[in-house]
Copies of this chain bind each other. A is one copy, B any other.
């Protein structure tokens, strides 16, 4: 990789794409030329980057000529079609969709956990699922110390995980409820304002959603831990930004709250926010727009003989998407 690569952002006008551009700027990533790509509908718009207005271009097969690094976040179908073309053109793709995550030829990477896997890439690198990434930021350091066997987890996921249209849907529905008007739906199958939906992504034959299955599948790959088991319920909540996850984790080695806290205090990319007596614990509102995830509510699990409960929150547009992608890009430059 060049020391100042030409970078393309695919899906530049989406909720994650916008965060990718902001994150490249904020972290002073050494961008040569920046190419913003999106659907024909968005072509012609401009987006600011380091004080300049960059035009958004339509994504085509020829978009990747001269591009060294492409950050994709335009959905699985776009990734499946264009990421191999980009890779063939000599570009390294960091893909935020689920299209290639479980492909054995594609590293699935959280830099704080398995940056070493990047050395095996063949042009495409996958960014993990947001809920999985945020959970693993707290779980992996505990796994290193105490060896996790399985987790039971429930998520509290923000609407921005669905995209910009879902943010608008929550805003619109809140206004409708406040005004006493009928609530209209476009994005979610049920009202999200003042409600919670026990469905994130589509259902699999075994009754889990795809989102729920990702925790186990992606967790195994990222942690290099094929025996890891995860029972997960993913729930959409009327929060704009940042996901939270309640976790019960079982370990092989004896765990104490003090030992777990000591491990988590040293973990990269993680803040321990855990002083219940002062009402201090991770909150989605507090985690929003922060690079670090937050962990707290540490306590021994009372239904596991060797387990720990914790509560983790993180900005799913950042650590769950844009930040992690840019961190991978930074690793590639090292």
Binding site for B on A (CB under 8 A): 150-152, 154, 156, 174-175, 178, 189-191, 194-199, 203, 206-208, 216, 229-231, 233, 235, 237-240, 244, 246, 248, 257, 276-277, 279, 281-285, 296-304, 307, 309, 311
14 residue pairs of the A-B complex, CB under 8 angstroms, read A152-B152, A154-B154, A178-B178, A190-B283, A194-B240, A196-B283, A198-B246, A198-B282, A206-B300, A229-B302, A229-B303, A230-B303, A231-B248, A233-B311
- A189-B235 Cα distance, complex, nearest whole Å: 24
CB neighbours of A284 from chain B (8 A): 195-196
Q: Is the CB of B237 within 8 A of A196?
A: yes
Q: Is the CB of B196 within 8 A of A233?
A: no
User: Residue A198 contacts which of B151, B174, B203, B311 (CB distance < 8 angstroms)?
Assistant: B311
Count of this chain's copies in the oligomeric assembly: 2
Q: Apart from A216-B302, A233-B309, what 5 extra A-B contacts exist at CB < 8 Å?
A: A175-B178, A178-B178, A194-B239, A206-B302, A207-B300
CB contact under 8 A between A151 and B303, given known A207-B276, A237-B156: yes
CB neighbours of A196 from chain B (8 A): 156, 237, 239, 244, 283-284
The prevalent SS among residues of A at the interface is mixed
CB neighbours of A203 from chain B (8 A): 276-277
Q: Is the CB of A207 within 8 A of B237?
A: no
